[in-house]
Amino acid sequence: MIGEGIKSTNQRKHSYVQDHVEVGFFTDPSVCIGCKACEVACKEWNQVPDDGFIWSGNSYDNTGHLGASTWRHVMFLEQDRQKGNQITGPMGLPTDSQSDLSAVAAAKAEDPFRWVFLSDVCKHCGEAGCLEACPTGSIVRTEVGSVLVQNDVCNGCGYCVVSCPFGVIDRRPSPLPDAGGAFKCTFCYDRQKSGLVPACAKVCPTESIVFGRLDDLRARANERVQHLKQNGYGDAQVYDPTETSVCGIHAFFLILGEPEAYGLPPKPQIPTIYLKSAWTAAFATAIASIIATLVGFAFFS
């Protein structure tokens, strides 16, 4: 956290992989400045290829969304909401007639505006859809609880893509390097094995991205929400779907407002919960087809 200096978990060396400690990311948009250093650090460290340079027209976000070649994505939300104890009023400098305080007070709450930046990333679900769906065993759970794609095993079947409730993992199209395989955030597993902090958290200048023990981060997030609420951020909440079949996420967020505005599903579910009813229908159809065929041949030939 800010003010902790070299004692911050973002700067310390650690042995979480060796000690099998569950770790996480806590990403806090209330201190994010939208510098995109996390995106750059991630691309550099992991040698993620350039996947195009397109002007979106969506605020300052030309990254678009998470995908096979985008593992951190800074969102830029422009909202007509109040930010903290923000004093709102007509835009521009006050003219003579507006300069007296009563006019400013009258115009208060007329034109609230806030700019929210949130660095999105793979959630590393407690129960991961991609991991369950993978037919090659390429996707595994690591010692620290993160979900890792082993690139050399993946044969690019594309089933993880439709099984992720957050739309994170994707198959990399040609002509990019290593095309055809599925890619997503690795939680910098290689760095973590060497006791280093993931590149995005290491580089984050405001410690909007905090890396550390999952239980510590959860406590810290709740504290932060309480603090923000006391300071006028009435709609601050933790986005961590623990009550759905996803069973909580390792990379969770503090969000201002509803999850929908961030493109986050309000109640994400792991698709394996649909298996029972689907297989029941499949077995029933299989049996019905055999019976129908036997009946057809027994009575009509």
Partner 1 sequence: MTTDSRSEKRLEQLREKAWQEGVVPGRGVDVVGGPIPRKPGYYGQPVVKPPVWTWEVPLYFFFGGIGGMSAVIALSGVLFHHIDLARMAMWIAAIAGAVLSPILLIMDLGRPHLFLNMLRVFKHRSAMSMGAWILTAFGTSAVAGLITLELHARQIFPGTLDQPVRLAVGIFIFAAAIFGTLLATYTGVLIGATAIPAWFLHRTFLPIHFGTAGLGSAAGVLELLGHRIAALNFLGFYAAAVETALLIWLSVDRHGAADRAIHQHGSGWLIRSGEILNGPLALVLRFFGFIPWAAISFLAGALVSRIGWIVVGKVSGADPEAVFASQR
Least CB distance from residue 47 to partner 1, whole Å? Answer: 16
Q: Which is nearer to partner 1, 3 or 299 (CB)?
A: 299
Task: Report residue 297 as tokens.
Answer: 């041949």
The residue (of 154 and 199) whose beta carbon lies closer to partner 1 is 154
**How many Å is the maximal CA-CA distance in the chain?**
99
Quick one: 16 or 239, whose CB is closer to partner 1?
Answer: 239
Give whichever of 222 and 293 is closer to partner 1, judged by the CB atom: 293
Q: How far is the CB of 183 from partner 1 (least distance, A)?
A: 11
Residue 72 vs residues 37, 88, 125, 153, 231: alpha-carbon distances, Å: 10, 32, 16, 23, 29
Q: How far is the CB of 235 from partner 1 (least distance, A)?
A: 16
Task: Spell out the long-range contacts of 175-180 with Cβ–Cβ below 8 A and sequence spacing 24 or more.
Answer: 176/49, 176/51, 176/68, 176/69, 177/49, 178/151, 180/156
Of residues 131 and 197, the one with the C-beta less far from partner 1? 131
The sign of the torsion formed by the CA atoms of 184, 19, 24, 38 equals negative
Taking the complex as a whole, the smallest distance from the CB of residue 223 to partner 1 amounts, in Å, to: 27
C-alpha dihedral sign at 191, 196, 197, 203: negative
For 141, phi and psi rounded to 5 degrees? -100, 135
67 near 170, Cβ under 8 Å? yes
Rounded CA-CA distance 198/217 in Å is: 15
Shortest Å, Cβ 173 to partner 1: 8
